[in-house]
Amino acid sequence: MTTVESIVDRSVTQKLETMLLIRTFEEKSAELKAAGHSPSMCTSVGQEASAVGVISALDERDLILTNHRSAGHLLARGADPNRVMAEIHGKATGYCGGKSGSLHISVKEIGVILTSTIVGGELSLATGVGLSLQMLEMQGIATVFFGDGAATEGIFHESVNLAAVWDLPVLYVCENNQWQAYVHRKETMRIDHISEWGARYGIRTATVDGNDVEAVAAAARDAVAYIRETGKPFLLETYTYRLRGHMEPDDQAYVDKEELSRWRSKDPITALERKLVTDGVLTATELAAMKETVRKKVEAAAQFAITSPYPTLDQLTAGVYA
């Protein structure tokens, strides 16, 4: 059984390893899709610092609801890469028995209770999870990951407004990755920061460099501390960039090349690797060993997924009703 291991105050090298795991996992998923092994999926390549930084600030009591780019959130929370990869392949050994694929994967045992693929669909449910936590005096907070695209949905307004008027312990994390499927954020809104919208509901907000994992972790720790102390919601915007396309495969022909190369130079993983080696926290040999460990783990996950059985046919009708 997967558990939420010591993710509180995870060290910077552990954070790097988790970011590498997410990157390698998602690139492998895309590769397996291209090779015809699995159906398509949406990746969060370029956004790993956001997932790892925020989730490093949570603890076992907290619950997570997320969206179609959820592999990073799941792995950062400690999900077993084998079972996530198996779910993406629609296999019986996946966390949802092959019923969800990448689109709806949830892992209740580690507190990731929903992936919704309706853009913004997770937002109002997170408000309800926050209300439940408050009513049941469960201490934890509800954390919901959504994108700048979801913020343009009407449900964003209702969800944040309700959490504001009812003082609910919800951490709204907007991963502003600049892209809404195939449309650039600048074509859909007049502002640059979703935190500006959040502030209008009378809740506390912050924007942080979403490509700097330590900055994200620090901002998330502050936000979480505020929520635990006051019971009130907080909107944290992680300003980042989706380096791959909307959905695999994607040639990104619609992406401005100059912008893409500018953000590639700010890749959260290469920046952190460079810093840790320069600062003497990691040697080049240790970094190479870390990458090799991660590569093996992901290869094993791919093998596990490919060799796992499909669900038995009686699963077709199982679970529609209790």
Partner 1 sequence: MSEMSYRDAIRAAMMEEMDRDPSVLIMGEDIGIYEGTFRITAGMLKKYGAKRVIDTPIAEAGMVGTAVGMAMLGLRPIVEMMTVNFAIVAADQILNHAAKIRYFSGGQVDIPVVIRGPHGAGVQLSAQHSQSFESFYAHFPGLKVVAPGSPADAKGLLKTAIRGKDPVMFLESAALYGMKGEVPDDPNFTVPFGESRLAREGRDATIVSWGRMLQLSLIVAEKLAKDEGIELEVIDLRCLRPLDMEPVYASVSKTHRAIVVQEQWKPFGPGAEISASINERMFDELDAPVARVTGEDVPMPYARNLELLATPHEEHVVAAVKRVLYRE
Footprint on this chain of partner 1 (rule: CB under 8 A)? 63, 65, 94-100, 103-104, 106-108, 113-114, 116, 118, 121, 123-133, 135-136, 138, 142, 154-155, 158-159, 161-162, 165, 318-322
Cβ of residue 181: shortest distance to partner 1, in angstroms? 17
Name every residue whose Cβ is closer than 8 Å to that of residue 127 and which is 6 or more positions away in sequence: 142, 159, 160, 162, 163, 168, 170
Closer to partner 1 by Cβ: residue 108 or 264: 108
Closer to partner 1 by Cβ: residue 82 or 211: 82
d(CA 85, CA 28): 10
To 10 degrees, what angle do helices 268-278 and 284-307 make?
A: 140
Cβ of residue 59: shortest distance to partner 1, in angstroms? 17
Closer to partner 1 by Cβ: residue 146 or 239: 146
Cβ of residue 105: shortest distance to partner 1, in angstroms? 9
Cβ of residue 245: shortest distance to partner 1, in angstroms? 24
Task: Give 235's strand partners.
Answer: 172, 205
Instruction: Assess contact for 168 and 162: CB atoms under 8 A.
Output: yes
Cβ of residue 119: shortest distance to partner 1, in angstroms? 10
d(CA 211, CA 209): 5
Instruction: Assess contact for 51 and 44: CB atoms under 8 A.
Output: yes
Closer to partner 1 by Cβ: residue 60 or 292: 60
Cβ of residue 236: shortest distance to partner 1, in angstroms? 19
Cβ of residue 213: shortest distance to partner 1, in angstroms? 29
Closer to partner 1 by Cβ: residue 43 or 102: 102
Closer to partner 1 by Cβ: residue 161 or 252: 161
Smallest Cα–Cα separation from 170: which of 231, 216, 118, 222? 231
Smallest Cα–Cα separation from 243: which of 32, 22, 74? 22
DSSP string, 214-237: HHHHHHHHHHHHHHHHH---EEEE
Smallest Cα–Cα separation from 145: which of 232, 204, 93, 76? 76
Cβ of residue 99: shortest distance to partner 1, in angstroms? 5
d(CA 206, CA 53): 14
DSSP 107: B
d(CA 163, CA 179): 26
Closer to partner 1 by Cβ: residue 46 or 111: 111
Strand 112-115 relative to strand 234-239, pairing: unpaired
Closer to partner 1 by Cβ: residue 97 or 275: 97
